[in-house]
Amino acid sequence: MDFHVEQRISWIKERVKESHTKGVVIGLSGGKDSSVVAALCVKALGAENVFGVALPCHSITRDVDHAKLVAETFGIEFLVVDIGDTFNTLKSTIEKDVELSDLSTANIKPRLRMSTLYAIAQTKGYLVAGTDNLSEMTMGYFTKWGDGGYDFNPLSDLTVSEVLALGKELGVPAPILEKPPSAGLWEGQTDEQEMGVTYAAIEEYIKTGTTDEKSLAIIERVHKNTEHKRVMPYFFRPTK
């Protein structure tokens, strides 16, 4: 399978060059997507210009261990920033006046992670690398201004199965590629369980325009409802 690896590497180099920055910061979740992005960025820029950050927030220990494994595998500088206390403080402060829904509470985590990555990136003169894949983007399965906030995304054309295959080709450690995809928003959470459809059905829809009847109804409804996530903010333009 041709993943246009050399084109991706050249594209990453060009994004950094045209922005007059020196490297990239990646939020390492311990999952397949951020691991594959780390591998690509190292090939493009050299390990010395890639900075990995794990951002646990009441997370399971395994995810941080896997993030560290990725950093060690590809030889990049690695930092752990535990945002758990910050999350607790912000949540409790908001809830003095507004009772938050469970999902809005969970989405505080990726938004705090985005803010942290940009603080580090701006300090170092780096860009923030995105890690959302095509399957997730089709479903709007990312947090607006959270993991959906980045400067460039080298995985935006790849489905989950393609990311996994590319990860194997690039030498991403097997334990990361073999575990069920999860955003890590809460204990036991998995992507497919939360979305209500399998990644196989989403990929079939992407490639053929259809899938089984039940999954098709979910995918088309969710894709329509999340369109606002895939476009830039709406700007008012007066009519003449």
Output the DSSP codes for 167-209: HHHHT--HHHHHSPP---SSTT--HHHHHTS-HHHHHHHHHHS
pLDDT at position 127 = 98
Q: Give average pLDDT by consecutive 10-residue segment, the chain, 240 residues.
A: 94 98 97 97 98 94 95 98 98 98 95 98 98 97 96 98 97 94 69 92 98 98 97 91
Q: How far apart are CA 196 and CA 181, in angstroms?
A: 13
pLDDT at position 13 = 98
132 is annotated as an active-site residue = no
* Residues in a beta bridge with 127: 24
| Buried/exposed code over 114-148 (b: 16+ C-beta within 10 A; e: otherwise) | bebbbebbeebebbbbbbbbbbbbbbbbbbeebbb
204 is annotated as an active-site residue = no
pLDDT at position 159 = 97
pLDDT at position 218 = 97
Q: How far apart are CA 32 and CA 181, in angstroms?
A: 8
pLDDT at position 189 = 72
Q: Which of 132, 136, 151, 191 is catalytic?
A: 136
pLDDT at position 180 = 82
Q: Which of 33, 132, 147, 162 is catalytic?
A: 33
pTM of the model: 0.95
